A and B are shown apart, each in its own frame.
Chain A
Amino acid sequence: MTVRKYLVLAGVVFSSSVGDPLLSYGMKQVGAVNLSHPLSLILAVLNPWVAIGIVFLLAFMACYLSALSWADLTYVLPATSIGYVLMVLIAKFALHEHVSLLRWLGVILISAGVGFVTQGPELTPPRKPKTRAATASSAVEP
């Protein structure tokens, strides 16, 4: 793994961890959206928090797609789940929220999962095409 690849994974984690709360905060200001009036959903984009949230969402998409271009899905998803841990740490130390014991256990499990997956290779090696000789010998084998 190169530094660039670690930065892309960090970008996935950071952009989703920041973007989601921004969108949530902005949509709380906009108020309940009535799906029978889709224009109200479009006008929600004019809220500055929603607009910044969308910028982070686009950054997330760019980093996520980039990560998927050189790593397996079963590597990217667990590796970037560290965002859940960040969310709990922000809730505890920045927002001074109460974090239950079970949630701390969740943090430990996720951290262990991230640790496990990042120790292995990020990409499944491409399968070698069977040579004619190998195919012939395997056909002879009982």
Chain B
Amino acid sequence: MSKLQVWGAIVAIVIVSTTGDLLLSRAMKQIGDLGELRHDRGLFTVVGRVLRSPSFLLGIFTMALGFFSLLTGLSWGDLSLIGPASASLTFVANAIAAKLLLHEHVDHRRWTAALLVAGGVALMAF
């Protein structure tokens, strides 16, 4: 497989994983603090609310899609490149997407943390 195809797979993994994380985060913010909800209404209410959330179901579907794109990517290229590259880029993509789409307050501290962790994860390949 060409390098272009492998990097195409990495980009696909990053986009799909980030989408899954965003959808899950959106679903959980809509439902509210699960710990408090369980304390007030019980476990079955929590499970029911989570399973009825469209964002959650779509998020799980997207996460599954991300898993299969990772498997496909691994059949095209080396784990030592695809694993750290996709994990590292996902940290940065999540920070950008969470700021733009979830309107999270990503200050200098969080940018620095995302970049440090992304760099550190990339070094794990060596």
Contacts and interface: CB of A to CB of B under 8 A. Distances in A.
Nearest to A68: B28
Contacts of B110: 74-75, 78, 116-117, 120
A66 B34 contact: yes
A119 interface: yes
Contact of A74 (B34, B94, B124): B94
Given A88-B124, A100-B126, A117-B109, A66 B104 contact: no
A72 interface: yes
B91 A78 contact: yes
Given A68-B24, A78-B91, A113 B120 contact: yes
Given A84-B124, A106-B122, A109-B123, A73 B116 contact: no
Contacts of A125: 105
A119 B113 CA distance: 11
Contacts of B107: 120
Given A65-B50, A69-B34, A77 B124 contact: no
| Interface size class, chain A | 35 or more
Given A106-B121, A124-B103, A117 B33 contact: no
Contacts, number: 120
Contacts of B35: 4, 8, 66, 69-70
Interface in A31-88: 64-66, 68-70, 72-78, 81, 84, 88
Nearest to A82: B117
Interface string B54-67: 00100000000000
Nearest to A115: B113
A107 interface: yes
Most buried by A among B50, B119, B122: B119
A69 B46 CA distance: 11
A64 B33 CA distance: 12
Contact of B106 (A8, A74, A105): A74
Given A68-B24, A68-B25, A102-B123, A110 B117 contact: yes
6 contacts: A70-B35, A72-B98, A73-B94, A77-B94, A106-B121, A112-B120
